[in-house]
Structure 1
């Protein structure tokens, strides 16, 4: 396992402090606050540690309440809402500096047989031959915000490849792109055979770029300062088994944006076309006035 993937695996682990209390460390992906996907993944790991291993998460729903402090550890307080014959429910509150920053609920289900159907996977280019987002950003290294440059010097733990690449510092003009953004992603090295870890890493990765689908039709980007953005809530449904070290297609779209908020949906497929998870998120997308150019 390469260093970056090993660090992500360790980041998603949580330390048990008490019967229902856990603690996680904070990572840095170059964002000004704790990355929302990190809190999602750690909260899921904390909840799963209180659940029998004969059942796995099938849905989670979360609200991001306050910006997370990257310099502080995060305490996860798990409430054992219900332990039923088939379903287990947990509520988790993430706390920093004595205040809740994140509220999370998850439901776990024993494996059962039943009928099956799914939407077909979109027709997109395969991941081989596509350029990774990491490499595309390296091509614009000198123009990136200072906080991102040090992060890009290291290889990333999640390899993301857009099916229709775009420059986040100079996105397509308003009206040129539809509210659709499809990409492939996977862990950049092999992972342990722990289904909970793969689910937590998928939750972590699902927060990467989902709101881009709402920005593309308007020619906006979080990276060039044209819009202020933050995840407000996040929901996921897990339909089938998968591995995060195999290629997964993240097919995303934005049905609506209004009132400085954008709503996005995502469907996650294996390379052979199985729909393994669905995602929904609303995020703040508040356009910012152009920055005045310095006098020449």
Structure 2
């Protein structure tokens, strides 16, 4: 399951739509086809329908759908969040999730509903464990195990959030950065994601990082307020945790999401929830990558509230394959052509805006 911005078609000719760039102001701002409130897509994603129990085991099942997706594949964070939402529907009252561990098995088809079968592993005095199998056409696309806990008193400490960071309001939105590119993937990222994501360091949607280091930081929150349901906020945070977690790997190696010939897919995902939070308030997602090897890269992340409380820790390994040999040489030429074309179009856009 790939990140929503993990596949941007390279320039194949001067007619490639990615070369066409106009500022959002020049094109009338938000496209008419974009959702008025992208967060409504998230509400729909997490609103699972109860289905008939499994015919052999009697285990509860739920069905979820996918909003329209460029490329036709389901965003991995969506399946994670829906698995968690399904499991939460079967747990005792007052036990929010405290950890989850999942494996992406097959790519999801955005046009096919997803069935979530929930197995009860244990309901103890304080903890409940569930195993969820997400499937399409009777084939597994994800297996997730999660644990829920009754709140309790105990030892308490945390790492410190970095200081001196820019406020999220001072940073460009994703729409500011790529909303004017007439490319379906970039249009979807700019206008249809349920979360407002703002990069502290220069974003990697189109341009590779000039400063190569295995770190990344973004501020993020939903565009509109959610209900007070703690289960919804933790499922929504699970959804967003898959957004940029492999970007430290790309930044370290000077690679952008638009790299021609690159293939990226999430392999597994783990998450620990430390403290309550709301995802409709700004959260800082601080990410690092300790290692990349064997066409795999590991991303680790910490999520802080704006006032510095650590609310979650995340880890994910992803497959990252770059073309080699002659394909690699061709990819580098295509990448250089792409960057040149984009720089030309940026200058033209700037000149047009100056004339107005």
Given the two structures, how large is their TM-score scaled by the length of structure 1?
0.92
The CA deviation string for residues 108-133 of structure 1, in whole angstroms up to 9 with x for no partner, is: 00000111000000122221201112
The SS at the match of 1:37 is helix
In 2: Cα distance, 1:114 partner to 1:31 partner: 47
Partner of 2:240: 205
Task: Check if 1:253 corresponds to 2:288.
Answer: yes
Which of the numbers 21, 32, 47 marks the counterpart of 1:13? 47
CA gap of 1:253–1:29, structure 2 versus 1, over 3 A, is: farther
The SS at the match of 1:253 is strand
Contact (CA 8 Å) 1:58, 1:238: kept in 2 or not?
yes
Task: Check if 1:137 corresponds to 2:215.
Answer: no
CA gap of 1:195–1:134, structure 2 versus 1, over 3 A, is: same
CA gap of 1:132–1:149, structure 2 versus 1, over 3 A, is: closer
Contact (CA 8 Å) 1:158, 1:205: kept in 2 or not?
yes
- Pairing 1:22-41 to 2, within 5 Å after superposition: 22-30=62-70, 32-41=72-81
Which of the numbers 107, 112, 116 marks the counterpart of 1:76? 116
Task: Check if 1:128 corresponds to 2:163.
Answer: no
| Residue 223 of structure 1: how far off its partner (Å) | 3.0
| Residue 153 of structure 1: how far off its partner (Å) | 6.9
In 2: Cα distance, 1:248 partner to 1:75 partner: 31
The SS at the match of 1:3 is coil
Task: Check if 1:4 corresponds to 2:38.
Answer: yes
Task: State how many pairs are aligned.
Answer: 288
The SS at the match of 1:11 is helix
Structure 1 residue runs of 4 or more that deviate by more than 6 Å after TM superposition: none
CA gap of 1:134–1:150, structure 2 versus 1, over 3 A, is: closer
C-alpha RMSD of the superposition: 1.9
Task: Check if 1:282 corresponds to 2:322.
Answer: no
Q: Which moved more, 1:164-173 or 1:57-66?
A: 164-173
In 2: Cα distance, 1:206 partner to 1:198 partner: 12
| Residue 212 of structure 1: how far off its partner (Å) | 0.6
CA gap of 1:24–1:155, structure 2 versus 1, over 3 A, is: closer
The SS at the match of 1:128 is helix
Partner of 2:343: none
The unaligned stretches of length 5 or more in structure 1 are none
CA gap of 1:151–1:48, structure 2 versus 1, over 3 A, is: same
The CA deviation string for residues 50-91 of structure 1, in whole angstroms up to 9 with x for no partner, is: 001211100000000001001100000100011111100000
| Residue 11 of structure 1: how far off its partner (Å) | 1.3
Given the two structures, how large is their TM-score scaled by the length of structure 2?
0.77
CA gap of 1:28–1:179, structure 2 versus 1, over 3 A, is: farther
Contact (CA 8 Å) 2:174, 2:189: kept in 1 or not?
no
- Which has the higher relative contact order, 1 or 2, with Cα contacts under 8 A spaced 6 or more apart? 2
- Pairing 1:171-190 to 2, within 5 Å after superposition: 171-173=208-210, 176-190=211-225
CA gap of 1:200–1:222, structure 2 versus 1, over 3 A, is: same
Q: Could you say which structure has the higher strand fraction?
A: 1
Contact (CA 8 Å) 1:168, 1:224: kept in 2 or not?
no
Partner of 1:164: 201
Contact (CA 8 Å) 2:72, 2:111: kept in 1 or not?
no
Contact (CA 8 Å) 2:174, 2:190: kept in 1 or not?
no
In 1: Cα distance, 2:136 partner to 2:69 partner: 19
